[in-house]
């Protein structure tokens, strides 16, 4: 039989740390992704060269023959 004192004692509340860390990491990643989307692209504007006399290439036909 359990003692009366054991029945009257309550378990001390525990603070679960692992789920809290998971939520904090998720929020950190979420806010970093949002901030990165808010920053405008600050690249250098380039005008790349192009071909003016280019012709369309016709696809080559490949024939495979198998002998016995």
pLDDT at 54: 81
Alpha carbon distance 18, 26 (integer Å): 12
Q: Note the pLDDT tens digit of each residue in 7-51.
A: 567 777 778 888 899 999 999 999 999 988 888 766 788 888 888
* Domain boundary assignment for the chain: 15-39
pLDDT at 5: 62
pLDDT at 1: 53
pLDDT at 3: 62
Q: Helices in the chain by DSSP H: which ranges?
A: 4-8, 18-38
């Amino acid at each position: 039989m359990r003692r009366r004192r054991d029945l009257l004692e309550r378990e001390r509340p525990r603070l679960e740390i692992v789920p809290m860390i998971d939520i904090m990491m998720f929020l950190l990643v979420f806010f970093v992704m949002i901030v990165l989307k808010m920053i405008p692209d600050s690249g250098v504007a380039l005008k790349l060269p192009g071909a003016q006399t280019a012709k369309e290439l016709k696809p080559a036909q490949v024939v495979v023959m198998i002998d016995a």
